[in-house]
Amino acid sequence: MEFDVNKAIQYFQSVVTEHYADFNGRVPRKDYWTYVAVYFVIAIGVSVVERIVGLGLLSLLQLALLLPSAGMTARRLQDTGKSGSLVWLLMIPVLITSLVSFLLAMTFGLFGLLIMFIPLFPVLGLVGLIAAVYLIYLCVQPGTQGSNPYGPEPAPAT
């Protein structure tokens, strides 16, 4: 099986621009994991830049792509016949952690105002890890054949 990087980037871009908050329908495994792979590469690049400039860029990326990522995961879950609302098991801890991380990075001298949130990080991290493992398990499952309550069987876009 051949992986076309340009096609993968174009697909990622189309998801973000045309399906920013789309939670309806289904998405096949290949398309979902193509989106995840491009997101991962972008996140690595942003992390490198964040280390150089010292701002909360990765948290900002996670916040910016929260809805497209949640939508893709919800549609992937729906392809397997599961409820797309399960995506919020992971997205709520990610949202809270990203928001607090970004605010901590941007407060500079006002760190004391947000210090009360630091004990939440390990708990949110553990909840997020457990949810991520469960959702990954669900997302690697094959989609249901034919139509299901969430729509017809999707054709691969990538």
Distances (CA, A) of 16 to 91, 115, 120, 152: 17, 33, 30, 22
Instruction: pLDDT band for 115, please (50, 70, 90 cuts).
Output: low
CB-based burial label for 68 (10 Å; 0-12, 13-18, 19+): buried
- Residue 148, SS3 per DSSP: strand
Two tokens, residue 139: 């997302």
Instruction: pLDDT band for 18, please (50, 70, 90 cuts).
Output: very high
Report the number of secondary-structure helices (H) and strands (E) in the chain. 7, 0
**Which of 90, 73, 95, 69 has its CA nearest to residue 82?**
73
Beta bridge partners of 151: 148
Residue 98: pLDDT over 80:
no
Sketch the domain layout of the chain as residue ranges.
5-139
Length of the chain: 158
Instruction: pLDDT band for 107, please (50, 70, 90 cuts).
Output: low
- Residue 118, SS3 per DSSP: coil
Q: What is the mean pLDDT of residues 2-6?
A: 81
Two tokens, residue 114: 């947000």
Euclidean distance between CA atoms 60 and 43, whole angstroms: 10
* Cα-Cα end-to-end distance for the chain: 12
pTM of the model as a whole: 0.82
